[in-house]
A and B are shown apart, each in its own frame.
Chain A
Amino acid sequence: MAMKIGEKPFKERVTDGIGDVFMRGAVSSAQGRFRSGRLNAAEELGNWEEWRKLGEEIRTHTIENLDYYLDLMSENVSKRGGYVFFAETAEEANEYITNVVKKKNGKKVVKSKSMVTEEINMNEALENAGCEVIESDLGEWILQVDDHDPPSHIVTPALHKNKEQIRDVFRDKLGYDKTEKPEELALFAREKLREEFLQADIGITGCNFAIAESGTISLVTNEGNARMVTTIPKTQITVMGMERIVPTWEDMEVLVSLLTRAAVGQKLTSYITALTGPKQEGEIDGPEEFHLVIVDNGRSKILGTAFQSILHCIRCAACINVCPVYRHVGGHSYGSIYPGPVGAVLTPLLGGYDEYKELPYASTLCAACTEACPVKIPLHEHLLRHRQEIVEKEGKAPVFENLSMKAFSLGTASPSMYNIGSKLAPKALGAFTKDDKISAGPGPLKNWTEIRDFPAPKKDRFRDLYKKRKKERGE
């Protein structure tokens, strides 16, 4: 699965999403839980705004000095005997990973949850090379079993499925014969996954934060399977987007505090795994061989642009969890493995406007995302900036809109034009007006009146009434 999911055009995906009653029920109840969890955890920590500011500062400093910290990271990993590979493209990353696996004669790969491996379509590349790839994150595994259903959320990838649907997937694909109780489902998954772990020869993980000062990669999880990926197989490959880096352990502590609270309303997750290179002499666990693949895949193009702060993202999904648009359309509507506000900003940057020009418009600019983001990324401003680029630089705006905006600026920058236009409005719309309302409007109004009434323009505008009033009072 690459970043892009599905072939249908945006409008059709949205219609599908809106029509999916199960998904919408699951999403709205999850949004409620995540929201109260996040707010409670933030309140319990205290000084949340100060924490956010600190998080923002750390991320800003890191991304501003990204080359320095990547260098330091790479140096420290090498010092401990690990291998580092910088991949400029998805293809380069996949080629390197496949080669490592081939060299080790790897047949079975277990992996932990990772968005960047989805983005580069790594599983398919490995499968094409004759490897079996097993997802070990419960949500990802469910999706994998369900014929590679794409993720709809960056933290809880199977959010769009309810427990009955998961039971059915297990029953149809794996002969599961128990109920839809989450405990029973999880136990079943655990038994199946244990077998896989014991047979795997390669472990592949993502990376939440790479700590440059020590060359450590860290994983933040609740299930603990990511830790098994780093301990059982003899060879480990960690794949990270180049922006997943933090300078120090102290910085990492701040960001983890923000991440777990913003993502799931927890003080800490059950597991935080940190791994510094391969097993050293005298150590009893850890992989014998360790590879770190640092992926660019379009990220460095964002550096130095007005969009740079989107690279501050720590993938907590808080913006997705508060988004009122995501709430109704679900993750698959975005056509990208990165949905919601963060996806609407990031996806067009990585994948281009040709494919994703609708996404920046799939927002009311309500700023709920900006308010929720633990590292203070001004998401709604980035969405606006995208619209501006699409209109002004790319010239991709619809002709009609272009014309009406021209008329708008003529009509509002000059009082006399505004005067004429607003005075004519009741006449122009007179034929469509009944009982002070328009129920079926012409032109662009049609889209409005398809679902709601529109008020008729008043014969006397406020300015006319004001003038009359002034006259009557002899002013």
Chain B
Amino acid sequence: MKVSLFVTCLIDIFQTDVGMDTLELLEKLGCEVDFPEKQTCCGQPAYNSGYVDKAKESMKHMITVFEHSDYVVTPSGSCGTMFREYPHVFKGDPVWEPRAKKLAEKTYELTQFIVDVLGVEDVGAKMNGIATYHTSCHMTRLLGVKEAPMKLLSNVEGLEMKPLAHNYNCCGFGGTFSVKMGEISEQMVDEKVQSAEDCGAEILIGADCGCLMNIGGRIDRKGKPIKVMHIASVLNSR
């Protein structure tokens, strides 16, 4: 199966290992993976701040970049959601709406792709530890991917999963919210870190680098003994 990898700008610049893990994992699962090098950002930071016209420029660019792909797979629920939203953003545009629709239809978040398209629930990963999973908002509520990550994680050998209290509450990232409304964001992320600590997890796993940067950054600042990991890295552990 031919797959184009959309790594997202956060992974391209900050979490390169997550990108590598995604690439290797997909290859292990038998996919032929390419990385269209002209890719940039899905436009979300501008879009969510209300700069829709500016966001549209990046969106058009991304639509063009992935025009020839069969599948687009991304290790980010939030950026995947953004791609899926493109037709809505370009609604009524005779040129861009149909092109956006094509991209939306072939875009999948990583775990969604593995479970729903490849039909795999056990990727053969091994990792020892006690972990909990942070359900990110856009991925669960807007993209509707709820079960896939849990299915995959429950089959990781050696990994014990603990439920996270109030897992439905946002971690307080929200893109520019995290800096614009820092005081509120702090309370939200603190509660999240507290819940992770309370459940006894050594590892907090997530499927969105934005949330993980937020929660992980707070954990580091507070010096808590919890490691933050992207689900791609967990699933690529052997």
- Measured between alpha carbons, how far is A169 from B54 in the docked complex, in Å? 53
- Measured between alpha carbons, how far is A413 from B183 in the docked complex, in Å? 32
Contact of A181 with B by CB under 8 A: no
* Interface-lining segment among A157-165, A290-298, A363-371: A363-371
Residues of chain A in range 71-128 having any CB-CB distance to chain B below 8 Å? none
Contact of B13 with A by CB under 8 A: yes
- Measured between alpha carbons, how far is A425 from B14 in the docked complex, in Å? 10
Q: A324-B188, A368-B170, A452-B217 are in contact. Are A14 and B183 (CB under 8 A)?
A: yes
Q: A390-B50, A413-B61 are in contact. Are A461 and B13 (CB under 8 A)?
A: yes
Query: Are B11 and A450 in contact (CB-based, < 8 A)?
Result: no
Contact of B187 with A by CB under 8 A: yes
Per-position binary interface string of chain A over residues 431-475, scored 1 when its CB falls under 8 Å from any chain B CB and 0 otherwise:
000000101000010011011111111101111011100000000
Q: Which residues of chain A are within 8 angstroms of B138 by Cβ–Cβ distance?
A: 366-367
Residues of chain B in range 156-187 having any CB-CB distance to chain A below 8 Å? 168-170, 172-187
Is the interface on chain A under 10, 10 to 19, 20 to 34, or 35 or more residues? 35 or more
Residues of chain A in range 372-419 having any CB-CB distance to chain B below 8 Å? 384, 386-392, 397, 401, 405-406, 408-409, 411-415, 418
Identify which of A327, A368, A390, A450 contacts B182 (C-beta below 8 A): A450
Contact of B60 with A by CB under 8 A: yes
Query: Are A413 and B170 in contact (CB-based, < 8 A)?
Result: no
Contact of B148 with A by CB under 8 A: no
Q: A457-B13, A458-B16 are in contact. Are A15 and B183 (CB under 8 A)?
A: yes
Q: Which residues of chain B are within 8 angstroms of A370 by Cβ–Cβ distance?
A: 141
Q: Which residues of chain A are within 8 angstroms of B7 by Cβ–Cβ distance?
A: 462
Contact of B155 with A by CB under 8 A: no
Contact of A145 with B by CB under 8 A: no
- Measured between alpha carbons, how far is A139 from B53 in the docked complex, in Å? 46
Query: Are B61 and A415 in contact (CB-based, < 8 A)?
Result: yes
Query: Are B43 and A412 in contact (CB-based, < 8 A)?
Result: yes
Contact of B238 with A by CB under 8 A: no
- Measured between alpha carbons, how far is A371 from B168 in the docked complex, in Å? 11
Query: Are B48 and A365 in contact (CB-based, < 8 A)?
Result: yes
Specify the chain B residue showing the minimal Cβ separation from A327: B169
Specify the chain B residue showing the minimal Cβ separation from A364: B174
CB distance from B144 to the nearest CB of A (A): 11
Q: A365-B174, A384-B48, A455-B213 are in contact. Are A448 and B221 (CB under 8 A)?
A: no
Contact of A22 with B by CB under 8 A: no
CB distance from B135 to the nearest CB of A (A): 11
Query: Are B188 and A448 in contact (CB-based, < 8 A)?
Result: no
Residues of chain B in range 35-53 having any CB-CB distance to chain A below 8 Å? 35, 37-41, 43, 45-53
Query: Are B141 and A412 in contact (CB-based, < 8 A)?
Result: no
Identify which of B11, B191, B218 contacts A452 (C-beta below 8 A): B218
Contact of A325 with B by CB under 8 A: yes
Max chain A CB contacts within 10 Å: which of B13, B39, B53, B172?
B13
CB distance from A78 to the nearest CB of B (A): 43
Contact of A361 with B by CB under 8 A: yes
Q: A365-B174, A392-B50 are in contact. Are A408 and B35 (CB under 8 A)?
A: no
- Measured between alpha carbons, how far is A371 from B146 in the docked complex, in Å? 14
Per-position binary interface string of chain B over residues 194-232, scored 1 when its CB falls under 8 Å from any chain A CB and 0 otherwise:
000000000000000000011011101100000000000
CB distance from A5 to the nearest CB of B (A): 19
CB distance from B210 to the nearest CB of A (A): 10
Specify the chain B residue showing the minimal Cβ separation from A325: B184
Q: Which residues of chain A are within 8 angstroms of B176 by Cβ–Cβ distance?
A: 401
Residues of chain A in range 1-31 having any CB-CB distance to chain B below 8 Å? 11, 14-15, 18
Specify the chain A residue showing the minimal Cβ separation from B62: A412
Residues of chain B in range 44-94 having any CB-CB distance to chain A below 8 Å? 45-55, 57-58, 60-61, 65
Query: Are B50 and A364 in contact (CB-based, < 8 A)?
Result: no
- Measured between alpha carbons, how far is A431 from B136 in the docked complex, in Å? 32
Specify the chain B residue showing the minimal Cβ separation from A370: B141
Q: Which residues of chain B are within 8 angstroms of A463 by Cβ–Cβ distance?
A: 12, 35, 37
Q: Which residues of chain A are within 8 angstroms of B174 by Cβ–Cβ distance?
A: 363-366
Q: Which residues of chain A are within 8 angstroms of B23 by Cβ–Cβ distance?
A: 466
- Measured between alpha carbons, how far is A412 from B10 in the docked complex, in Å? 13
Q: A14-B184, A18-B183, A453-B217 are in contact. Are A361 and B16 (CB under 8 A)?
A: no
Contact of B20 with A by CB under 8 A: yes
Contact of B137 with A by CB under 8 A: yes
Q: A365-B48, A412-B43 are in contact. Are A462 and B170 (CB under 8 A)?
A: no
Identify which of A368, A418, A439, A467 contacts B168 (C-beta below 8 A): A368
- Measured between alpha carbons, how far is A134 from B125 in the docked complex, in Å? 66
Q: A368-B137, A452-B217 are in contact. Are A462 and B12 (CB under 8 A)?
A: yes
Q: A451-B218, A453-B221 are in contact. Are A367 and B53 (CB under 8 A)?
A: no
- Measured between alpha carbons, how far is A367 from B217 in the docked complex, in Å? 23
Query: Are B54 and A364 in contact (CB-based, < 8 A)?
Result: no
Query: Are B55 and A364 in contact (CB-based, < 8 A)?
Result: no
Closest 7 CB pairs of A and B: A364-B174, A387-B50, A452-B217, A413-B57, A366-B170, A409-B54, A366-B137
User: Can you list 23 contacts pairing A with B, beta carbon distance less than 8 Å?
Assistant: A14-B183, A18-B184, A364-B175, A366-B170, A368-B169, A389-B50, A390-B50, A391-B51, A392-B53, A408-B58, A409-B51, A412-B43, A415-B38, A415-B40, A415-B65, A422-B12, A447-B182, A451-B186, A451-B218, A456-B14, A461-B16, A462-B16, A463-B37
